[in-house]
Amino acid sequence: MSWVREAFAVFEKEVRSEWRTRVALSSVALFAVGALTLIGLALYIGQGPTGPQTAAALIWVLLFFTAATGLGRAYVIEEERGTALALRLTARGTTVWAGKFAANALLLLLLALMATPALLSLLKVKTANPALLACVLMLGCVGIAAVFTMTSALVAQATAKGGLLAALSFPMLVPLLVAAVHGTNAALGVGNAAGAFAAGLGDVQVLASYAVIAITASLMLIDFVWNEG
């Protein structure tokens, strides 16, 4: 119980700090609104129909790049501000990671919750199976948040943080993104709910497995990354 309480304290601190400073929130919101506006303008100019494949790809392009913009700061900001020293002295590496991961996942899930309906409405794409779509989005966001939180810890003490973050995260996220795009396409594109579920079930399994592996591996490795001593 102590571990959970400590991890929750980190999560609570992350949310409170973010609410007061709005550093990640503003960059994530700016990127998401900018991307949605550009997509809307392109559709307005093009006037062409948009299929579920394009919609699925655009949703994950939006979520991936927004995550790269906002979530990579989790550990970097601790090093830049000098608060990492106090954290290292007092907290366990695993509780810090878990709290930061939970806060990142929450931010990305909130973004997905707001941006996906807006994007689907702009593209005029209907959802065949909303439950499947919600499941794919949730598991995909959890996996992305886990990878970006871990890579943020890896690059926090490097000099070229921005470039390294994307370079390290993208190859790790390719399997997740393939399953996420495929699963989203199934939830949007297959005619009825049952057909969509059958088409997307395998992707949900891949996404769930990916999330479990990413979280477990991060918790096992974070002490080696976080504590220099």
State which amino acid sits at residue 173. L
State the Cα–Cα distance between residues 23 and 175, nearest whole angstrom.
Answer: 29
Q: Quick one: which of 46, 48, 82, 191 contacts another protein (CB under 8 A)?
A: 82
State the Cα–Cα distance between residues 186 and 195, nearest whole angstrom.
Answer: 8
According to the binding rule CB under 8 A, does residue 88 interact with another protein?
A: yes
Q: How near is the Cβ of 24 to another protein at its closest, in Å?
A: 13
- Residue matched to tokens 């921005």: 162
State the Cα–Cα distance between residues 208 and 214, nearest whole angstrom.
Answer: 10
- Fill in the per-residue mask, 89 to 108: x = in contact with another protein (CB under 8 A), - = not in contact: xxxx--xx------------
Q: Is 224 exposed, middle or buried (0-12, 13-18, 19+ CB in 10 A)?
A: exposed
For the chain, counts of helices (H) and of strands (E): 9, 0
According to the binding rule CB under 8 A, does residue 166 interact with another protein?
A: no
Q: How near is the Cβ of 91 to another protein at its closest, in Å?
A: 4
State the Cα–Cα distance between residues 114 and 118, nearest whole angstrom.
Answer: 7
Size of the site for another protein (CB under 8 A): 26
Q: How near is the Cβ of 87 to another protein at its closest, in Å?
A: 7
Q: Quick one: which of 85, 110, 194, 213 contacts another protein (CB under 8 A)?
A: 85
- Fill in the per-residue mask, 7 to 26: x = in contact with another protein (CB under 8 A), - = not in contact: --xx--x--xx--xx-----
The answer to whether 165 and 155 have CB atoms below 8 angstroms apart is yes
The answer to whether 36 and 115 have CB atoms below 8 angstroms apart is yes
Q: Quick one: which of 29, 43, 87, 134 contacts another protein (CB under 8 A)?
A: 87
According to the binding rule CB under 8 A, does residue 178 interact with another protein?
A: no
According to the binding rule CB under 8 A, does residue 6 interact with another protein?
A: yes
According to the binding rule CB under 8 A, does residue 2 interact with another protein?
A: yes
Residues engaged in binding another protein (CB under 8 A): 2, 5-6, 9-10, 13, 16-17, 20-21, 81-83, 85-92, 95-96, 227-229
